[in-house]
Amino acid sequence: MCKDLTLGYDGKAVVSGLNFSINAGDYLCIVGENGSGKSTLMKTLLRLKSPMSGSIETGEGLHSNEIGYLPQQNVVQKDFPASVREVVRSGCLNRSGWRPFYSQSEKKRADDAMERLSILPLATRCYRELSGGQQQRTLLARALCATGKILLLDEPASGLDPKAAIEMYELIAGLNKDGTTIIMVSHDVGAFLKYSTHVLHIGRAEALYFGTKADYLKSEAGKIYAGGQTAGQGREGVSE
């Protein structure tokens, strides 16, 4: 639960008055214009950045090292010289502490995540030799190694071709169906209208919105941002 959050940097507020709550099993999409504070919010939820004011309360049994994170890829990440298995297993590092090795249960957790995302046959392949879609699956499997409870995803289909993007969204939807809570930043209107249960629209004070997807479509922010699209359209006609 987030109460009266004000977020910003260098003493300058980017967004203020954020109030929203997330329940187990929700699929929340965070939307808004460029520069509205979406990435800053993600960093704050990950405890990488402190809010300027307000508070974040986590439910019982959820620890900060049990939040899986899939960031937007950069050029350095795409050229990472490690095997798929090594990348996926690194998601267990928060759990392993100072141990210089992975336990048998952590190795199995990594293999299970790779199998769940259909990349186990790629386990020995070099990460940088994979296609964009395969790299994103690898990073998603890595996030799953950190937790099966909640995943924070920052534009998970960015840069993927339409087929790979649809496959990525379907994988994420499957994880949500299996009980994983999803918090996703996305500019893909068709995707968030199809898959999300709740929407958080941030930006100008008059455009702030949090609630169900159905109610969002009826709101002023939803009518403008969603452009009249209806839930279930998928990616067709979506502006990236």
In this prediction the pTM is 0.86
Quote the CA–CA distance of 208 and 200 in Å, as a whole number.
8
84: enclosing H helix or E strand? helix 84-89
Average pLDDT of 120-141?
94
∠ CA 106-82-105, rounded to 5° = 5
> What's the chain's average pLDDT?
85
* DSSP-assigned beta bridge partners for residue 91: none
| Better pLDDT: 72 or 131 | 131
Quote the CA–CA distance of 87 and 152 in Å, as a whole number.
18
Average pLDDT of 62-69?
75
For 186-221, what is each residue's pLDDT tens digit? Answer: 888 888 889 999 999 987 766 788 999 999 988 888
Kindly tell me the burial class for residue 34, based on how many C-beta atoms sit within 10 Å of its own C-beta (0-12, 13-18, 19 or more): exposed
Quote the CA–CA distance of 235 and 239 in Å, as a whole number.
9
Quote the CA–CA distance of 104 and 121 in Å, as a whole number.
19
- Is 79 a residue whose pLDDT tops 90? no
* Among 46, 52, 45, CA closest to 20: 45
Query: At a CB cut-off of 8 Å and minimum separation 6, what does 156 contact?
Result: 70, 136, 140, 168, 169, 172, 184, 186
Q: State the pLDDT confidence band at 98, using cuts at 50, 70 and 90.
A: low
